[in-house]
Structure 1
């Protein structure tokens, strides 16, 4: 957002609200979770304001954190719940992408197919944490970030290394 001009920001927020509204109307049983970044990116208050502008209060069921990232689950749970507190909407839930965070954060903030990563908690809706709706593998384990292969390509060797 900080790279966009005011009008571009308004257009982006409007597009996000439109997409969430379209999902809500077109698939009323679907749950809509807005991407809220991760604990190392924006303060909870900043993220909550952006989510408000994108329509989460009207169209969202919650937020997703750590998508395609490597941060520790506990850090992301704390961050996600703090964003929800800032939104003052306790009915909203949090889902955490745990697909590659089993070894914790990367060193030196290397995010492009970094070595030494491991699978995190298996996907489940039984998190045992109030307000946390699920741990999910949003990023398919083995899917390249763009260094081991083209972004989005499945790399069997990378998937295998995540299981070790």
Structure 2
């Protein structure tokens, strides 16, 4: 198996982090809290030349993924770790990724224990019971709305909308929870897809309280472009109070193509913060774990076969 840390992607990304620290007015988003990916420690040992860069990455909040792809025991430990580590006055950052038949198009992430709405409700209850009334920011179901917005997309037949309503209702029962539904970014580029996103978000708003959407998850688009797309969404939605979060984990360099898989020129973007200095962007976040592989890629990207860390 090929480790992403052994490829040019990680070297470029980690090196770019040092550049970003000198280029940005960095503000630690101390109100955001998460736990470190367990694979980082092994990566520092295996690749000592990148240890300093990885340690720098570890100083910032990297969203914690609560997914049915983890065993029940691992999920329990993860929730115990994050609720223990994060102080009461911080806001935990958790990605919820367990909708039944997730990734219904590519089928690369469909494995997991959640097979039905009943399973999903139990999965969500694990999370909400552990979090209680604590302050938390939820990124809700990456890819789901994108697969609903595609013409002829599989999200509709997979029942994503009804299950997203289940998630929104369960997660927003905590008055201290901030919910941002992931919509990709490409869904906001064209009017037809954007209209579907607006319809979905309107329906989800009836199930519970939403703060906004996350865009650019695991992708490379610039903050400027994301702010413009967010404005388009807000205009169509008619709710300027519904803002956006941008995943900056790999968008330091302006993308030259629409490729999404282990792009060689990628670099780690602005560190997580609520001080974005862009009115309609509530946070910059690292939702994708910096340095994490996308798996096996095609021509034009580095070929890797395993998520390294």
8 A contact 2:250–2:266 mirrored in 1? yes
User: In terms of Rg, which structure is larger?
Assistant: 2
TM-score, structure 1 as length reference: 0.79
Does residue 159 of structure 2 align to residue 35 of structure 1?
no
Q: CA–CA distance in 1 between the matches of 2:199 and 2:213?
A: 13
Q: CA–CA distance in 1 between the matches of 2:187 and 2:198?
A: 15
Q: CA–CA distance in 2 between the matches of 1:110 and 1:116?
A: 11
The residue aligned with 2:167 is 19
Computed over aligned residues only, the root mean square deviation of the Cα atoms, in angstroms, reads 2.1
Mapping 1:147-162, distance limit 5 Å = 147=296, 148-151=304-307, 153-154=308-309
TM-score, structure 2 as length reference: 0.44
Find the partner of 2:261 among 112, 115, 128.
112
| Structure 2 portions without partners, runs of 5+ | 1-147, 297-303
Mapping 1:113-132, distance limit 5 Å = 113-132=262-281
Mapping 1:6-155, distance limit 5 Å = 8=157, 11-25=159-173, 27-39=174-186, 42-43=189-190, 44-53=194-203, 55-56=204-205, 58-107=208-257, 109-147=258-296, 148-151=304-307, 153-154=308-309
Q: CA–CA distance in 2 between the matches of 1:115 and 1:84?
A: 33
8 A contact 1:99–1:140 mirrored in 2? yes
Task: Describe the SS at the equivalent of 1:118.
Answer: coil
Q: CA–CA distance in 1 between the matches of 2:251 and 2:179?
A: 23
| CA displacement at 1:92 relative to structure 2 | 1.2
8 A contact 1:39–1:75 mirrored in 2? no
| CA displacement at 1:82 relative to structure 2 | 1.5
| CA displacement at 1:37 relative to structure 2 | 1.2
| CA displacement at 1:85 relative to structure 2 | 1.8
Q: CA–CA distance in 1 between the matches of 2:266 and 2:182?
A: 22
| CA displacement at 1:39 relative to structure 2 | 4.2
- Cα 1:104–1:3 shift into 2, 3 Å: same
8 A contact 2:245–2:285 mirrored in 1? yes
- Cα 1:48–1:5 shift into 2, 3 Å: closer
- Cα 1:110–1:88 shift into 2, 3 Å: same
Q: What's the CA shift string for 1:26-69, capped at 9, x where partnerless?
A: x321210011211476523332223223x035431111010111
| CA displacement at 1:124 relative to structure 2 | 0.9
Q: CA–CA distance in 2 between the matches of 1:33 and 1:88?
A: 17
8 A contact 2:188–2:229 mirrored in 1? no
Larger relative contact order (CA 8 Å, sep ≥ 6): 2
| CA displacement at 1:5 relative to structure 2 | 8.0
Q: CA–CA distance in 1 between the matches of 2:155 and 2:187?
A: 24
Task: Describe the SS at the equivalent of 1:138.
Answer: coil
| CA displacement at 1:77 relative to structure 2 | 0.9
Task: Describe the SS at the equivalent of 2:272.
Answer: coil
Q: CA–CA distance in 1 between the matches of 2:292 and 2:155?
A: 33
The residue aligned with 2:127 is none
